[in-house]
Amino acid sequence: MKTLKNPVFLLAALLFSSVHMSFSFLPSAAADQELKTVAESSNFTATSQYADVQTFINSLQGLSPSLRVETLCVSTEGRDVPLLVIGAPPPTSPLELRHDKRLVVYIQANIHAGEVEGKEASLMLARDILLDRDRPYLGRLVILIAPIFNADGNEKISKANRRNQVGPEEGVGIRYNGQNLDLNRDGIKMESPEVQGLARNVLNRWDPVLLVDCHTTNGSYHKEPVTYAWPLNPNGDLSIISYIRESMMPWVNKILKDKYNTLSIPYGNFLDPRDPEKGWQPAGPESRYITNYIGLRNRMALLLENYAYADYKTRVYSNYFFLRTVLDYCYNHNNEIQQLIQETDQRTIQKGLNPAESDRFATSYDLKPLKDPVTILGWEMEVNPDAQSWPRVKKTDIERTYTIPYYCDYHPKTSIPFPFAYLMTVADADIVTKLHQHGILVEKLTNRVSLEVEFFQITEVKGAERIYQGHRPNSVKGEYTIEKKDFPKGTLLIRTAQPLGNLAAYLLEAESDDGLLVWNYFDKYIVPQWQRNPQAYPVYRLLKPAILATQTVR
């Protein structure tokens, strides 16, 4: 990869010479303070081990009263994953925030422990906020930081990991957690202590308005060191998607360039690397991806993908500047964000109370380009004639600016009416636990009732041939039928009139592109047993509002 480094390296050198001259708020507090991250103290040749992170946090606590530390989870290998709570003062519980207007923002780094610059940048950020006498942001924000989300993956640092990435030369951790799971595919099945801890101790506890998930790219060549994406799944409330896309990110993009001298573009890869003009596209809309998942919860999320072929120092600083810009945005738009979130929750509850004809659940999507194209500073590409398989292309030295369609707008292609509630006729403790882990309210009927419901008669169920994340994800075919059905006392009821109503639908719909049926949670109820055909999906759709006597299931 040596020949590929040079242009980026030059760019980085350019960036940094100008950055250092023009800005006073650089993380150069590090130079004055003794407290440095491993990235800084190694002159950007190494990244922090778990113990280094713990020592750094302990030192910060010795220097500032504005930091409390909570435990996000205990990892598979037994490590306490720290969650920094930064505030002036740091709240001891979310209940305290009822009495002030501070917004909670959550920064998550190192979910893929080979992608390390978020860990270094978020620690630098914590230090530079806590040790700044002005305590920037803390008048309006409470900042949560998980600098080492995948602690077990981080401890497997080796020079052999992610060798295509440009540094740090002393090596990085691995992608997977202690269970060999990819945590950024665990948004729905939630089978890792890390993502369960994220739900329990961050999302359901602190309810941050925004999650920023820090990564490093794997793909296309371009000059911009920062790339970003927002929630993509159209089963989330579209106001969140359009707010980030149309209001927040144009601002962030501009400030990042004007104030921090850092270029950014929406995240993606060329649709066809052999012909970049065809367009640019991010990863898919499935909510196994954490940022898509957050959108289904009516909250904002940003995927940060730092450019893997930028050198390590550039990536750390770019990540740092991106985080600062996002905090600048939240600080300056705190009332607007608060209002957006409140309205989205209220709209979701209203929709569930009395679903309208136009309220739909999308069962498949069309992917369209946005109205405006993206402009990418790239190079001309050349097809490698030695390549055995799709699509081995090489970057040439000829610079080229691509202004091309950005395919990231998922629209419903097929859809079904959004229901008032779901009735689940199997008393499955694992599924109830899963719903509870997500924060969904589950009730049970306290009387027998007879209701007209719609159900999905499965005609075909197929597990994937290849095992994926410990599963054989299902795809199903079937037909909807309406019938009058008796539901005994004790039948489980999940209403969509709750703040997480969109998520409840996504988890429970038979045809959801990434719901619990996909992840095998219903296998034993739907596969044929002593009969030839698959069984009916045991979650019934109650389309019209009904008054039902229920009790909450704890």
- The binding site for Zn ion (CB under 5 A) comprises 112, 115, 215
Q: What is the spatial order of strands in the sheet that 103-109 belongs to?
A: 67-74, 80-86, 141-146, 103-109, 210-216, 300-306, 226-229, 264-266
Closer Cβ to Zn ion, 200 or 215, answer by number: 215
| H helix and E strand count, the chain | 16, 21
Identity of the residue, 112 or 351, whose beta carbon is nearer to Zn ion in the bound complex: 112
Compare residues 127 and 215 and give the one whose CB is closer to Zn ion.
215
Are 90 and 142 a contacting pair, CB within 8 Å? yes
Choose between 112 and 395: whose C-beta lies nearer to Zn ion: 112
User: Which C-beta is closer to Zn ion: that of 102 or that of 215?
Assistant: 215
CA gap 531, 283 in Å, rounded: 40
Instruction: Give least dist CB 165 to Zn ion, A.
Output: 11
In three-state secondary structure terms, 442 is coil
Min separation Cβ 161 and Zn ion, Å:
13
Q: Which is nearer to Zn ion, 112 or 324 (CB)?
A: 112
Residue 32 exposed, middle or buried by CB count within 10 Å (0-12, 13-18, 19+): exposed
| Least distance CB 269 / Zn ion (angstroms) | 13
Q: Report, in Å, the least distance between residue 488 CB and Zn ion.
A: 46
CB of 104 to Zn ion, least distance (A): 24
By C-beta, is 326 or 453 nearer to Zn ion?
326
Q: Which residues contact 133 (CB under 8 A, 6 or more apart)?
A: none
Distance (Å, whole) CA 126 – CA 84: 8
Phi first, then psi, for residue 233 (nearest 5°) are: -80, 125
Least gap, CB of 184 to Zn ion (angstroms): 6
- Provide CB contacts within 8 A for 307, sequence distance 6+: 8, 216, 217, 222, 224, 225, 226, 227, 315, 318
Position of minimal CB gap to Zn ion = 215
Buried b (16+ CB within 10 A) or exposed e, 214-252: bbbbebbbbbbbbbbbbbbbbbbbeebbebbbeebbeeb
Judged by CB, which is closer to Zn ion: 214, or 241? 214
CB of 162 to Zn ion, least distance (A): 10
Q: Which is nearer to Zn ion, 215 or 297 (CB)?
A: 215
Nearer to Zn ion, 66 or 217 (CB): 217
- Rounded to a whole number of angstroms, the minimum distance from the CB of residue 149 to Zn ion is 11
Closest contact distance (angstroms) between CB of 115 and Zn ion is 5
d(CA 435, CA 511): 18
What's the token pair of residue 132?
Answer: 């700044």
E strand or H helix at 74, and its extent? strand 67-74
The tokens of 346 are what?
């209220």
Q: Prior bond to 355 cis, omega within 30?
A: no
Angstrom distance (rounded) from CA 551 to CA 69: 36
Q: How far is the CB of 134 from Zn ion (least distance, A)?
A: 33
CB-nearer residue toward Zn ion: 113 or 497: 113
What minimum distance in Å lies between the beta carbon of 508 and Zn ion? Answer: 28
Minimum separation from the CB atom of position 283 to Zn ion (A) = 10
Report which residue type is found at 451. L
Nearest-approach distance from CB 528 to Zn ion, in angstroms: 39
Element (H, E) at 421: strand 421-424
Contact 474, 463 (CB under 8 A): yes
Angstrom distances, CA of residue 26 to CA of 73, 123, 131, 322, 546:
32, 14, 13, 12, 58
Tell me whether residue 215 or residue 495 sits nearer to Zn ion (CB atom). 215
Residue 127 vs 175, nearer CB to Zn ion: 175
Q: State the minimum distance, in angstroms, from the CB of residue 305 to Zn ion.
A: 7
Strand runs (DSSP E) across 431-534, as ranges?
443-445, 449-463, 474-487, 492-495
Distance CA 312, CA 162 (A): 13
**Residue 26 or 265: which CB sits closer to Zn ion?**
265
Write the single-letter amino acid at 198: L
* C-alpha closest to that of 174 among 80, 81, 111, 107: 111
Residue 542 buriedness (CB in 10 A; 0-12 / 13-18 / 19+)? buried
Residue 171's region, left for phi above 0, alpha for psi from -120 to 50, else beta, is left
